[in-house]
Amino acid sequence: MKNSVQHYSWGSPSLLPGLLGIRNPEAKPWAELWMGAHPRNPSMVETESGPVPLNDFIARDPVGRLGKGPAERFGALPFLFKILAAGRPLSIQAHPGKEAALNGFARENAAGIPLGAFERNYRDKMHKPEILLALGDFSALLGFRSMDEIRHYADVLGVSVYGRLVTEARGDLKTFFRALMSFPEPGKLIADICSAARGQGEGTFEWVLRLEEAYPGDIGVAAPLYMNILELREGEAIYLDAGKIHAYLGGLGIELMANSDNVLRGGLTSKHIDLEELCAVLDFSASNPELFSPFRGGNGERIYRPPVDEFMLSRFDLPEGASLDLEHPDSCEILLCTGGRLRAEGVFDLGPGDSLFVTADHGPCTLEGEGTLFRAAVP
């Protein structure tokens, strides 16, 4: 497969080029490598007649290429596979569930809002659950803190206006969040919070100041005061279901999600923020962030199986001289090498960042060599 790179402004100039072994003398931001059939940027696959977009390749024989079950359920590749490289924080965001996405997409279509419009919330009718697995140290904000924790940080700061927002919420997260997000003078509030945060010498306040450097005056700068901070190590993963507020702060990771582009934002962005719609989809329950653990399969496979129909993720670490026959069910799969050197089917040489699309009717795929391999498939 030949995959496209997204050069969003938050991308790292070094992480993804470093993985791929590509020089980047212009220090251009490399944000995401997309592997899949999303119509905005489909991967290209080599065929006997030349390169073909993956979505067109699948459409020629959905059953043979997707598998009978996935073809009947989805009619197209239902997941999008990525390598994400965050050099600076991404927006605070959440994704809609199935019903919210279906209704929101229909509603905005009926209102005549163009798909590419700035104010568009729903660009398709799919939900967007996702799993992220760290390929090194990776920082994120995930889920709301409890109101007791939020009150503690407000007390430490001693910023009267912010403290009043916390007190007036009377223990209700949604009330607090709405009041903060709609505060009439966000720049002044953030300036006061940052002034009080300086010299605190504690990780939460350090993140507030780092976000202020990246997004001066943005109301999302206060997010570490009300969201959980999570530091992932290599190989650790998190799963994000509908309505889970989050923001990726920095690092390199594997991301696998339903094939959707629906994002509702809540700060750290110059893009559209629809507070009413965001609050309608958010899960306002307080939570402690938990890692998403794999279970063991055969051949040393580590399987990450979230509670969704669209995707599952596997990891294989092949030692030197290994040979592996990858059995698959009635499903296509994308294989991605992130380290070492592997040879597939005795024909395809895979190095870091190289990928293969394996059709459902292909049968087992044989791999040899030493390296790390990820597999995205339909359960």
Cα distance between residue 354 and residue 336, in whole Å: 6
Spatial CB neighbours of 211, under 8 Å, sequence gap ≥ 6: 89, 218, 220, 221, 223, 224, 268
Active site residue 265: yes
Among candidate residues 65, 123, 265, 375, the one labeled active-site is 265
d(C-alpha 51, C-alpha 347), whole Å: 18
Residue 340 backbone phi and psi in degrees, to 5:
80, -160
Cβ-contact 126, 80 below 8 angstroms: no
| DSSP string for residues in 34-46 | EEE--TTS--EEE
Q: How many CA atoms lie within 13 A of 107 on its CB side?
A: 10
270/378 Cα distance (integer angstroms) = 35
How much of the chain is in helix, strand and coil states, percent to nearest 5? 30, 30, 40
Q: Is 251 left (phi over 0), alpha (psi -120 to 50) or beta?
A: left
- Residues catalogued as catalytic: 265
